[in-house]
Amino acid sequence: MKATLDALGAEIENALDGCRSDEDLERVRIAYLGRKGRLTEVMRGVGALAPEERPAVGELANALKRRVDECITALRERWKAERRQHELERERLDVTLPGRVWPYGHVHPLTAALDEAVAIFVSLGFSVYEGPHIEDEYHNFEALNIPSDHPARDMHDTFFVDHTHILRTHTSPVQIRVMENQEPPIAAIAPGAVFRHDDDVTHSPMFHQVEGFLVDRAVTFGDLKGVLSLFVQRMFGDDTRLRFRPSFFPFTEPSAEIDISCVICGGARAVNGGTCRVCKATGWLEILGAGMIHPAVFRAVGYDPEVVTGFAFGVGIERVAMLKYGITDIRLLFQNDLRFLRQF
Amino acid sequence: MKLTLNWLREFVELVLPIDELCEALVMAGLEVEAVAVHRPIWGAVEVVEIVNVAAHPNADRLRLCEVRRAQGPLVRVVCGASNMQAGDKVALAPPGSDLPGDRRIERATIRGQISEGMLCAARELALPDDATDGILILPPDASIGRRLVDYLGAEDTVIDLAVTPNRGDCLSVLGIAREIAALTGAKLQVPAPALREDDPPTTSAVRVAVEAPDLCPRYAVRVLHGVCVAPSPLWMRTRLALIGLHPISNVVDVTNYVMLERGQPLHAFDLAHVANGRISARRAGTRQSFVTLDGVERELIPDDLVITDGRGPVALAGIMGGADSEIRADTTDVLLESAYFTPAGIRRTARRLGITSDSSYRFERGIDPVATVAALDRAAGLIAGTASGTIARGVIDKQVGRGARLPTIRVRVARVNALLGTTLTAAEIERPLRALGATVAGHARAALRVVPPSYRSDLQSEVDLIEEVARLSGYETIPATTPAIVAGGPGFGPHRDPEERFRQTLRTCGLTEMIALAMIGAEENRMFPGLPDLSGKPVALRNAPSSDAAELRRSLVPGLLQALDVNRRQGEPLVAGYAIGRVYACDGERYHEGKALGIVLAGAWPSAVIGEPPRPASFADLKGGLALAFDRLALAPVMWESLQNEAPYLHPGKAARITIGGVLCGVAGALHPDVSAARGLDGDTWVAELDMIRVVQYCPRRIVFRPLPRFPAVLRDVAIVVDSGFQAQQILDAISEVAPPLVEEVRVFDQYAGAPIPEGKKSIAYSISYRASDRTLTDEEVNTLHQELVAHLTERLPVEVRR
């Protein structure tokens, strides 16, 4: 019996050696270990042996069966691993090929700059108002203390629509419109397009401003400095320095122009060994006009300048965008060249 | 406003180095636009005196001059000119000195004679030419040994200042000197002109009348006899040239020089051409024409202020003189005018006639009404000194308007501090005001009584003086504070959120934001009239910059098509853009400003992944993008229907009208082939425009959550065969008309034409979702509902169910 088992063991080993696939293995398994398999039959025969022979032979037969089972499983596992390995070797992506081009549009740099400016002021408690672009001369000029024979009108090259209407030359008329309709305290900004008869590398006939003003019982020039410093530093970075210079606007007094330290040379007046061309080697860039609202403006809207004070400011968004992004020709902002717009 | 440092030094000591001076001016509100240092290369040229002139022994056309320098022996110079004689002061370029044009003068031997340098002509020094041949003969007052650049003031620094319109007083050297004195504490000195008057008296030569005292409160004249018109002296020409003025003649140059120096415009008439020796300042009275000295004929209106002689106008007062009475080469008697004309009158006339002269510019901004005669005397003295002639005895000075009554202004200490946010004392407020030249009359602790100086006509009220206090103290001294801003107000307002969501969604769909100018050509504005409900007549600009910017747009489409053109020319395969902006129209009486959205989409989407072909942009892209945006806004039912005739620039069969809640809100589709062809566009150009104000009106104020369904939906499909012109929407409409119970959603999911569908027909497939909120529907239940629905459709519409 033992000899039979040994012979069967050798035969099975031979059969397994000849196996090349899972199907071959299954055939061998059925031939020897199946219900009618040869080893199965041998094992069934163990019961017919003499009781003293049974344990040893039984043990041998079981050991053989275990070995065969293990061998079959091992081969299956190995082949599976080999096939996976083969697959892994065969399946290769060129990860350097470009990815899918998901469509995505770009925000216009003016909108980006305008939104940023508006968001800063809203975060400070200002509310947003709009006004008409086709404005009457009263709101654009007279109410802002710019009578018709005032030389300050030369500062505004005005587009005329009819004998009383013009395209607003600044966003300041929104000041008047808001104050005409409500009582202080008011903290308002008015972003939008304005128009002047001007067209060159730094001027466009249409451009954008954000007007802002704060009117209350005790608003001071110091407050103006504080609010605009906050705005500038949020817009251009905390290390941006400011300079308030006296200037003239008919609708504010005292009036100021605000310069920021040059965004290119940082105020050093030179870059890469040459003079800074952005600030023309002054170290400063003019960015805002501002001042304390003129008593004549308050009187025009029926406020008592003895009771309320306020400040107003205007910032040119094209200039902000040009400085922020290093754009040198304003006309690029209105040409809609996709090679330009895609950069934002 | 250009001026030179040397000129300033005649009025004030400059204690600061130039950099710091400029910084101080900038921080006082006088923007320094440019600083130019003029240092002629011929700095070594010196003043010498000719002692002896002899013929050159070996050359007929040369002279041998002996000249005296400040030190050392006489030197010999060979000279080709012959216009000098012993005793003349001339300019010597000594050996080793440089001249313009890369010339270096060395000791030389000329025809056997040693020449220790060269005697210079004006031309050789690049000085303003006086048109005389020969070398430069200097006036006798030139002292021997002095550097010529110093004597002429040719070595100087020119500063260009931007002066704001309120600071007319800064349009002169004297005015800037006053500012510098106030800023630096240096003392101002104004030399009094030395004047020698001779008989006959001025009144015997001219009679002056002012008939328009409101426009001309003050009018003063002097007369000079025996004047010799010639080029003005070299120093004056040099200085005028430095600040960019062309020298003309001694008389005219002096009027300009004194205007630049004192800020008082002056005019010189040839007295011989002032008829009857009568001068009058009056309104023109009638419409008439007048030729100004630039040779242009001007149309005057009755209200214009003119200066007349016995016959008629001789000058447009304060703006420009007349051609007939201007100073000429043969003028001998000069009538010199110095006046104060009111700013508004000058401005009205100058603006109407489109003239800006140095004179009108200053009058418009307000000159010093008190300095009229001082400037007149300065000019008369300079003319007498440079053009010879005698000054007639006495000045005629008509002060007819309200005299220069200076305001007394109360400046409250508390008010100053309340406005500035400072804690200044009365003394700290007084100091800068005095530095300005104001008189501080009364001085209580709570308020000052201040009389501003006559030359500061801009200082009329308390706040004007508060600004001066802040300006001279320095804005940098005012502490920055953070105000308490009272919360309230609408914040971003109702429009920003929907608009921003629209923008974001369109960008996600691949559309790039574009911004175009609001001005377009008239023809474009007619072709693209905007949405019919909102459009009116175009708004035209009276002073349009060009014909392609003559009107304000009624639609954003033309701007986007222009962008399409720009990008097509760059070879962009796809142009996908949107714009949100104002559109403008006029209904005859009132102007309307709407807010519109525009889209342009043309070309092909680039291949998204290599191997996939590019995909032409289609109506589905346009509709899909907009539909997504509408969906993001949770808008009320949006309907897409065939275009009626809302937009003639669109293809009638390939465009839709978009309604929200039954109201027309926009159009979308392909450009009409004629419009495309006219623009050289081939293929479909997809455009859309929406009325954003209406769209925003239909946005829900808030989003309301709907509970998730608890029971499953059951789907049934149906394919329906219809005529090929049949619109998918008709089935949807027919279903929603009966509002069948338990139908949750109906969706078009396929469209097919071709065998076995008969010619002229197509099949549209719908997927219908049934759901009950309280139970799971059974198959039988759904089958019954679906059969009823399909039966309803075939009864109501000319359609067949595809089996």
pLDDT tens digits along B590-613: 999 999 999 999 999 988 888 889
pLDDT at B32 over 70: yes
Instruction: Identify any residues that bridge with B657 across adjacent strands, giving them in sequence order.
Output: B641, B667
Q: What is the reported pLDDT for A267?
A: 83
Q: Are residues A114 and A71 in the same domain?
A: no
Residue A216 lies in a domain: yes
Total tally of structural domains belonging to chain A: 2
A239 class by beta-carbon count within 10 Å (0-12 exposed, 13-18 middle, 19+ buried)? exposed
Q: What is the reported pLDDT for A208?
A: 96
- Percent helix, strand and coil across chain A, each rounded to 5? 45, 20, 35
Q: Are B352 and B364 in contact (CB under 8 A)?
A: no
The SS3 of residue B18 is helix
Average pLDDT, stretch B303-314?
94
At residue B317, what are phi and psi to the nearest 5 degrees? -50, 125
Q: Are residues A125 and A6 in the same domain?
A: no
How far, rounded to the nearest angstrom, does the alpha carbon of residue B732 sit from its chain's CA centroid? 59
Rounded CA gap, B771 and B219, in Å?
97
Q: B481 contacts in A (CB within 8 Å)?
A: 220, 222-223, 225-226
Q: Are residues A135 and A208 in the same domain?
A: yes
The SS3 of residue B759 is coil
In tens, the pLDDT along B347-368 reads 999 989 999 999 999 999 999 9
Q: A98 contacts in B (CB within 8 Å)?
A: 609-610
Q: Are residues A60 and A129 in the same domain?
A: no
Q: B510 contacts in A (CB within 8 Å)?
A: 103-105
Task: Tell me which of A90, A119, A147 is where a domain ends.
Answer: A90
Q: B517 contacts in A (CB within 8 Å)?
A: 204-206, 334
Q: Could you tell me the pTM of the whole model?
A: 0.86
Q: Which of A99, A105, A220 sits opposite B421 (nearest CB)?
A: A220
Residue A82 lies in a domain: yes
Rounded CA gap, B776 and A255, in Å?
74
Residue A220 lies in a domain: yes
Average pLDDT, stretch A194-204?
83
Mean pLDDT over the full length of chain B: 92
Confidence of residue A272 (pLDDT cuts 50, 70, 90): confident
Q: What is the reported pLDDT for B802?
A: 85
Q: What is the reported pLDDT for A273?
A: 83
Beta strands in B135-252, from DSSP E residues, in sequence order? 137-138, 156-162, 197-201, 207-210, 218-225
Q: What is the reported pLDDT for B701?
A: 64
Where does residue A273 fall: left (phi above 0), alpha (psi -120 to 50 degrees), or beta otherwise? left
Residue in this structure with the two tokens 């708004």, named with its chain if needed:
B539
The larger pLDDT score, comparing residue A326 to residue A138, is at A138
Q: Are B389 and B227 in contact (CB under 8 A)?
A: yes
The larger pLDDT score, comparing residue B796 to residue B520, is at B520
Rounded CA gap, B616 and B605, in Å?
6
Residue A53 lies in a domain: yes
Q: What is the reported pLDDT for B403?
A: 56
Q: Are residues A165 and A238 in the same domain?
A: yes
In tens, the pLDDT along B109-134 reads 888 889 999 999 988 888 876 666 78
pLDDT at A189 over 90: yes
pLDDT at A154 over 80: no
Torsion of CA B361, B363, B368, B369, to 10 degrees: 170
Q: Are residues A57 and A86 in the same domain?
A: yes
Q: A218 contacts in B (CB within 8 Å)?
A: 418
The SS3 of residue B510 is coil
Residue A104 lies in a domain: no
Q: What is the reported pLDDT for B98?
A: 93
d(CA B655, nearest CA chain A) in Å = 24
pLDDT at B481 over 60: yes
Residue A101 lies in a domain: no
Classify each residue of B91-113 as buried b or exposed e, where b means 16 or more C-beta atoms within 10 Å of its C-beta.
bbbbeebbbeeeeebeeeebeeb
pLDDT at A270 over 90: no
Q: What is the reported pLDDT for A152?
A: 67
CATH number assigned to the domain comprising residue A224: 3.30.930.10
Average pLDDT, stretch A256-285?
87
Q: What is the reported pLDDT for A155?
A: 63
pLDDT at A156 over 70: no
Confidence of residue B492 (pLDDT cuts 50, 70, 90): confident
Rounded CA gap, B383 and B227, in Å?
8
Q: Are residues A75 and A116 in the same domain?
A: no
Rounded CA gap, A166 and A137, in Å?
7
Task: Tell me which of A90, A117, A150 is where a domain ends.
Answer: A90
Kind plus residue range of the DSSP H or E element containing A70: helix A54-90
Say if the Cβ atoms of B29 and A159 lie within 8 Å.
no
Residue A120 lies in a domain: yes
Measured between CA atoms, the residue of chain B closest to residue A342 is B512
Alpha helices in B456-495 (DSSP H): 462-473
Measured between CA atoms, the residue of chain B closest to residue A112 is B513
Mean pLDDT over the full length of chain A: 91
Q: Are residues A254 and A197 in the same domain?
A: yes
Measured between CA atoms, the residue of chain B closest to residue A133 is B593
Q: Are residues A206 and A270 in the same domain?
A: yes
Where does residue B557 fall: left (phi above 0), alpha (psi -120 to 50 degrees), or beta otherwise? alpha
Confidence of residue A201 (pLDDT cuts 50, 70, 90): confident
Residue-range definition of the domain harbouring residue A13? 2-90
Residue A163 lies in a domain: yes
pLDDT at A84 over 90: yes
Q: What is the reported pLDDT for A171?
A: 96
pLDDT at B385 over 70: yes
Q: Which of A130, A134, A152 sits opposite B165 (nearest CB)?
A: A152
> How many of the other CB atoms lie within 10 Å of CB of B670?
23
Q: Are residues A119 and A220 in the same domain?
A: yes
Q: Are residues A52 and A136 in the same domain?
A: no
Confidence of residue A214 (pLDDT cuts 50, 70, 90): very high
Confidence of residue B455 (pLDDT cuts 50, 70, 90): very high
Task: Tell me which of A26, A56, A90 is where a domain ends.
Answer: A90
Q: What is the reported pLDDT for B633?
A: 85
Q: Are residues A337 and A250 in the same domain?
A: yes
Q: What is the reported pLDDT for B536?
A: 84
Give the range among A261-265, B251-255, B721-725, B789-793 with minimum mean pLDDT: A261-265
